[in-house]
Each structure stands twice: as C-alpha cells, then as structure tokens.
Amino acid sequence: MQQSADYFDEVQEAGEQWLPASFFDLPSVRVAVQHGAVRDPVLSTEEQVRLESFRSAKRRAEFARGRTLLRRVLAEETGTSPLDVPLISMPGGGLHLDGSSLHFSLTHTGALAAVALSPAGVGIDAERVRPVGPGLLERICGAQELPPSTQLAPLVVWCAKEAVLKSTGHGVQAGLQQVVLEWEAPSDTSAPFMRAAASFRQLTFCVRVRVANGTVWALAVQET
C-alpha cells in the first residue's frame, strides 16, 4: 500500500493509503485509510449476510469499505489472503484477530474508512464535521475536560472518548462520561493535533485528535 507524505493534500481519488506517522504523532500506531469506492470488496460469508441486512446503500458501502480495508491490511500483516483473515466478532461489537496479539481498530464515516494497527490496545474514531445538538458536551464531559480549542469541542470530546472505549472493546455502551480526559496545553499553537491523557477505570491512554478535511479524527492507545 502506498505511503503518503501528506495524505490530505493528495486524497481526491479512491484508493488505499497509509497515513504518515506524523499525522497523529504516535509512532507505534500505523493507520491505513480507504477513500471512496472500494475495488473488489472482500467479505466473508458472515459479513456478506450482515451487509445484505442493511437497508441503506450508504451503510452497505461503508461496511464493505471498512471490512475490505481491514481484511487487506491484516492480510498484509499476517501473510495470508484477505478472505482468510480470521476475524472474530466480540460480544461488545468489536473484532479480534484469532491467534494474534496484534491490536487494531476500524472506523468509517462518509466516504472514508480507517484502520489503526498497534502492539497495544488501540481505538480510532472519525466523524464528519456537522452541527451537534446543544447539551451534548455537558452530558459527556466535565468542565475540566474541555479541549484547548473550543472549535468543534463537542465532536472533539466525543471522538476522543469513543476512541478510548473502542480501544478497550467496551464501546460507547460503557458511557462516554466514564472516560476522563486531560488535555495538554499546546506548546506549539501551529501543531495540527491536540494531545490528551485519558483514563477509564484503571487504564490510562494517550490520545490525539486532529481535524482535517472536514473530519474529526481521534486515536487512543492504551499505556502499558
């Protein structure tokens, strides 16, 4: 898969790419993205059944894009064919790679899917920038958890917390307010991402959030 120097300057056409490590400044995590229509979708029989259960064509396209990217990336990692990647569905809705200690996370939004790979628990979330209802921020975060930039604060907090809960496999059912964020004051105001430490139960995480190309991206990695 192609490595892009500056993903968002180039991504206009459909295709798969690895984001540069500088995108999130978390060198232990690699992130692959698929933009636009997916060529030759690769889905297991179970995934095919799930795909056909979605009424919306948009949801079907998102699902096919995400799972195909995931299978291709994990096939490259494990030296197998995409269709043979042994994905196991976990009770909370997450996925596990049978027989491997590799951690990964999948997100899709609009015409984008992204997969994060890491040696430690990892969660990724991407949300298109859109208006969100009043009151969301108060429901999911305390005053001391507000991000350094108030622009898009509700989506930024949502994505950061969702990425944390995806990294543990709990999902948002565990309650976004259970994740506590502590943002770092930006040492360089021109830095393209925000950094935070997060905690959930006894676990701690390193979090990055970046707004790019009309999308809020969050990546969370468990500290060991």
Ligand X SMILES: CC(C)(COP(=O)(O)OP(=O)(O)OC[C@H]1O[C@@H](n2cnc3c(N)ncnc32)[C@H](O)[C@@H]1OP(=O)(O)O)[C@@H](O)C(=O)NCCC(=O)NCCS
Residues of this chain that interact with ligand X (CB under 6 A) are 63, 66-67, 92-95, 105-108, 125, 162, 166, 169-173
Integer Cα distance of 39 and 36 in angstroms: 9
DSSP H helical ranges for 86-221: 136-140, 153-168
Integer Cα distance of 129 and 120 in angstroms: 28
In Å, what is the CA distance from 198 to each residue of 81, 119, 165, 167?
A: 36, 18, 11, 12
For residue 193, the minimal CB distance to ligand X (Å) is 18
For residue 223, the minimal CB distance to ligand X (Å) is 18
In terms of CB distance, is 3 or 100 closer to ligand X?
A: 100
In terms of CB distance, is 75 or 95 closer to ligand X?
A: 95
Residues 6 or more apart whose Cβ sits within 8 Å of residue 125: 107, 159, 162, 163, 166, 217, 218
In terms of CB distance, is 120 or 148 closer to ligand X?
A: 120
For residue 189, the minimal CB distance to ligand X (Å) is 29
For residue 6, the minimal CB distance to ligand X (Å) is 24
In terms of CB distance, is 105 or 118 closer to ligand X?
A: 105
For residue 89, the minimal CB distance to ligand X (Å) is 8
CB-hemisphere CA count at 13 Å for 28? 17
Per the CB < 8 A criterion, the answer to whether 84 and 75 are in contact is yes
In terms of CB distance, is 6 or 223 closer to ligand X?
A: 223
Integer Cα distance of 129 and 155 in angstroms: 8
